[in-house]
Amino acid sequence: MACPIEVTVNLLGDKWKVLIVRNLLLGGTQRFGELNRGIDGVTQKVLTQQLRQLESDGLVARKIYPEVPPRVEYSLTELGHTLKPIFEAMHSWGTSYLELRGA
């Protein structure tokens, strides 16, 4: 009998994963380089690692175009899109927080 919140945390409980999903929710399908530039402070290696985990957890889809130079596009799966309410709640909370703490 697992706790649903613990399940969610185990899949999404990494700072970078949250930011990756945020970018894909807001910006739609993106190439590796776009994500790399869009997420402040993340390195290539870590971005690759996190994307692989998100992919194996079924939240993110990876599409490779057999071109040279290579092109790889990342997008949310159907399951990934169902995370949206969580991000709306976080967005809403973060906005209120910034207003309170006088941004």
* Contact residues for 27 (Cβ-Cβ < 8 A; gap 6+): 34, 38
With 0-12 / 13-18 / 19 or more C-beta atoms within 10 angstroms meaning exposed / middle / buried, residue 72 is middle
Examine residue 22 and tell whether it contacts its own copies (CB under 8 A): yes
Query: Rg of the Cα trace of the chain?
Result: 15
Residue 89 Cβ, how far from DNA at the closest point, in Å? 24
- The residues that touch DNA, with contacts defined as CB under 7 A, are 14, 16, 31-33, 41-46, 48-49, 51-52, 62, 64, 68-72, 74
- The residues that touch its own copies, with contacts defined as CB under 8 A, are 2-11, 13, 15, 18-19, 22, 79, 82-83, 85-98, 100, 103
